[in-house]
Amino acid sequence: MSVPPKADGGTAVPRRRAGRPSNAVLDRAHITTAALGIVSERGYPALTMAALARQLGVSPSALYNHASSKQEVLQWVQERVMSGVDSTGFGRVPLREALRRWARSYRDVFAEHAPLIPVVAVLPVAGSPRTLRMYESVAEGLSTEGWHPERIVPAIVALESFIFGSALDATAPLDILDPGQHASALPVFAGALEAQRATGAGPADTAFELGLDALLTGLLGAGEAGQESGRESPPA
Amino acid sequence: MSVPPKADGGTAVPRRRAGRPSNAVLDRAHITTAALGIVSERGYPALTMAALARQLGVSPSALYNHASSKQEVLQWVQERVMSGVDSTGFGRVPLREALRRWARSYRDVFAEHAPLIPVVAVLPVAGSPRTLRMYESVAEGLSTEGWHPERIVPAIVALESFIFGSALDATAPLDILDPGQHASALPVFAGALEAQRATGAGPADTAFELGLDALLTGLLGAGEAGQESGRESPPA
């Protein structure tokens, strides 16, 4: 976004008066960026149409001329965030690898926008074509490998649940599991925590990779491409 | 909680004046119940010490005489909620079954208190002896089966991530994945959604059970008690 140079060679943020919004500022991209900024800095409850209008320097009524509701703004935010999820592997690389890329990018994107997790996890997807296209890619990937149709959506939802939970965990303090004064009463857990720390690997990344591997093995089979077991009969 | 009978035989909620709190109301149990009520009804951001004092009918300073901070109240809430998680199976029934009971009860408890998920997921556990005892039980369960110590905490965290994500999903609207007007452009996904619906099974429960089975299979092996593969060497 360029700002006009001031006479002294510096830059000035153009001031806007309520009721005279600049259309250049009030397009969907700018509204989405401002909304994402509010959520990231102050948490989801801070995102109101009034706060968003203030952030954009326009009146609420001017904002409503461009976004019909907070729900619509949320859908734009969802579209923006989901654009960081990599669904390109399906149909191009082995299914296990495509799912792994998808899951890693999905978790990384939401770890960066953790306040959105509880919101997006329960947001209807009909308003987000990008999210729907992503689901179609994953569904095609599973279907092509012979998965029974009724198992496809539960598998996607199970993976998403793990991804959302892991994205939350990625934002937890490093010492979240430290037992503090209780360590001596918890010898096995305290020892396990110490052993994990001694590996030097990041605890959230290690848990995510272990869980993702386990989930994919459980869903697809032993882990070799072409040996997926999703083709087995669904439970009666 | 009993209330004194009124002269007319009905009951009256005793009025309290600021500065004259009743100790009977301001014990830890009542503060915790009131805090949980605020979070469940109005969401986590509504939980402030001022709101909690109002809910209890006392002054903030009276509340501070019994709870040193919002952080302390949160730890009490965590203790209360975690009391609904069933860790009794470890050491008593086969590990896979113990983990399944634990995961199901853990998910159910947090599905009932969804606004707490993003809070508890990143809350240090040192202040919650009950949570720590739960971890010790799970860690003992895995350790007894020969798990390498450095794999135990990542496995617990991976399971918890899946549980927290699944608890969020359990609160999503039933039609969250409905593609709406886009259905015709997403034939595989729309067909899979239809096929899942036709089974008549609840989508959140189905996804949770499929994912839990997959995770446990991936972590423990084929699923027969005594055949757990957590004993394999950890990744180099």
Give the DSSP per-residue string, B193-229: HHHHHHT---HHHHHHHHHHHHHHHHHHSSSSTT---
Q: Is the pLDDT of residue A2 over 60?
A: no
Q: Is the pLDDT of residue B8 over 70?
A: no
Which A residues 196-235 touch B at CB under 8 Å? 196, 198-199, 203-204, 206-208, 210-211, 213-219
Which chain A residues are closer than 8 Å to B111 by Cβ? none
Q: State the average pLDDT for chain A.
A: 86
Which chain A residues are closer than 8 Å to B114 by Cβ? 118
In this prediction, residues B198-208 reach a mean pLDDT of 96
Q: Which residues have a Cβ under 8 Å from the Cβ of A209 and sit 6 or more positions away?
A: none
Strand partners, B5: B11
Which chain B residues are closer than 8 Å to A110 by Cβ? none
- Report which of residues B189 and B126 the model is more confident about: B189
Q: How many Å apart are CA B113 and CA B130, to the nearest integer?
A: 17
Q: CB B211 to CB A164 under 8 A?
A: no
**How much is the pLDDT for A197?**
95
Percent of chain B with pLDDT over 90: 71
Tens of pLDDT along B51-70?
A: 999 999 999 999 999 999 99
- Report which of residues B146 and A24 the model is more confident about: B146
Range A92-101, long-range pairs (CB < 8 A, 24+ positions): A94/A225, A94/A226, A95/A141, A95/A142, A95/A144, A95/A145, A95/A220, A95/A225, A95/A228, A96/A216, A96/A220, A96/A223, A96/A225, A96/A228, A97/A225, A98/A141, A99/A138, A99/A141, A99/A159, A99/A216, A99/A220, A100/A212, A100/A216
Strand partners, A11: A5
Tens of pLDDT along A156-173?
A: 999 999 999 999 999 999
In this prediction, residues A27-53 reach a mean pLDDT of 92
A136 part of contact set with chain B, CB < 8 Å: yes
Strand partners, A5: A11
Tokens describing residue A186: 């918890």
Instruction: Name the least confident of A43-47, A59-63, B161-165.
Output: A43-47
Residue of B168, B174, B209 to mutate, testing the A interface (most A Cβ within 10 Å of its Cβ): B168
Q: Is the pLDDT of residue B7 over 50?
A: no
Q: CB A176 to CB B124 under 8 A?
A: yes
Q: How many Å apart are CA A185 and CA A229, to the nearest integer?
A: 43
B236 part of contact set with chain A, CB < 8 Å: no
Q: How many Å apart are CA A182 and CA A17, to the nearest integer?
A: 58
**How much is the pLDDT for A169?**
96
In this prediction, residues A85-95 reach a mean pLDDT of 96
